[in-house]
Structure 1
Amino acid sequence: MASNPGPTPERAIYGFVLFLFSYAIFGIYLIWAFVPQAWLTAIGLTYWPQKSWAIAIPVYFSVCIFFLYIFYTAYNFTITKPLNSIHTITDKYAKPVVSEDMTNNSVPPIGDLSISEVNRRLYQVQPTDR
């Protein structure tokens, strides 16, 4: 059975439940962070993490996201081929486009142009019809 990315009633229900769950968790977090420990103990809620974690957890996630951007950028630099590598010009999936098979007004097929064809199209002066 193929997965359909479109909206379905089941996805709407799951989304609404996740929406309510996220608000409930955020509400519990705010109660834990701002209500004094004595009040929580008075109503019988005694097993809570220390209040310092109310600041430490959001800061930890913010720093993780910041370093994730740095790591992702650095990783992309490590897997990028050098400029003098042949792999920056072509790869094993490249198929040449033959321009002689096309008529004047046709859309060219999808494919890679050779570096000589790119240079010819970009830098060679074409005769103009006057």
Structure 2
Amino acid sequence: MPEHSPSPTPERAIYGFVLYLLAFVLFFLYLVWAWVPDAWLHQLGLDYWPQKQWAIALPTFLCFCLLMSYPVYFGLTFLNSPPLTSREIIKDSHTIMQTDTRYQPESIPPLIDLSITEVNKRLYLHDPDTPMANK
């Protein structure tokens, strides 16, 4: 099995270049359709083009859809989140609680979730005369 690499493979580079050229060709065709008068297009034998109003309506609709995707995404996030009164906000099936406090003093401590009481102690129960960095 080949090793995954962030550098592009030759096949991906070719696909990317073809898509790059295709994007420029489609954009050029869009500009021709939007700016060239219909009479000139009919003289060239190009009779089956959409109406010119879609040259403005389609990009406007796409921008509107892009702008509306943010509120929809935020709404779905809020719908899939547990309510504020739920215990799952504090502790769920992915919680890693500290079971062993023995580790080397100069080592990096293990990755754990702090309990809500520990969070409240660290945030709110400090002496106002001592800076937080000394804790």
Residue in structure 2 matched with residue 23 of structure 1 by the alignment: 24
Q: Count residues in correspondence.
A: 128
TM-score, normalised via structure 2 length: 0.82
CA-CA distance at 1:115 after TM superposition: 1.9
TM-score, normalised via structure 1 length: 0.85
CA-CA distance at 1:98 after TM superposition: 3.6
Match of 2:110, SS state, is: coil
Residue in structure 2 matched with residue 81 of structure 1 by the alignment: 82
CA-CA distance at 1:99 after TM superposition: 5.7
CA-CA distance at 1:110 after TM superposition: 1.6
CA distance in 2, matches of 1:2, 1:114: 43
Residue in structure 1 matched with residue 4 of structure 2 by the alignment: 4
- Overall identity of the aligned pairs, in %: 46
Which structure 1 residue ranges, 4+ long, deviate > 6 Å from structure 2?
none
Q: Please list the CA deviations of residues 98-119 of structure 1 after superposition, one character each: whole Å capped at 9, or x if unmatched.
A: 4621232221112212223333
| CA distance 1:44–1:125, change in 2 (3 Å) | closer
| CA distance 1:53–1:5, change in 2 (3 Å) | farther
Q: Please list the CA deviations of residues 24-74 of structure 1 after superposition, one character each: whole Å capped at 9, or x if unmatched.
A: 000000000000000000011111111111111101101111111111112
Kindly indicate whether residue 62 of structure 2 is the aligned counterpart of residue 61 of structure 1.
Answer: yes
Matched to 1:54, the amino acid is: A
Residue in structure 1 matched with residue 133 of structure 2 by the alignment: none
CA distance in 2, matches of 1:67, 1:3: 40
| CA distance 1:74–1:26, change in 2 (3 Å) | same
Match of 2:70, SS state, is: helix
For structure 2, the residue ranges without an aligned partner over 5 or more in a row are 131-135
Residue in structure 2 matched with residue 112 of structure 1 by the alignment: 113
For structure 1, the residue ranges without an aligned partner over 5 or more in a row are none
| CA distance 1:123–1:99, change in 2 (3 Å) | farther
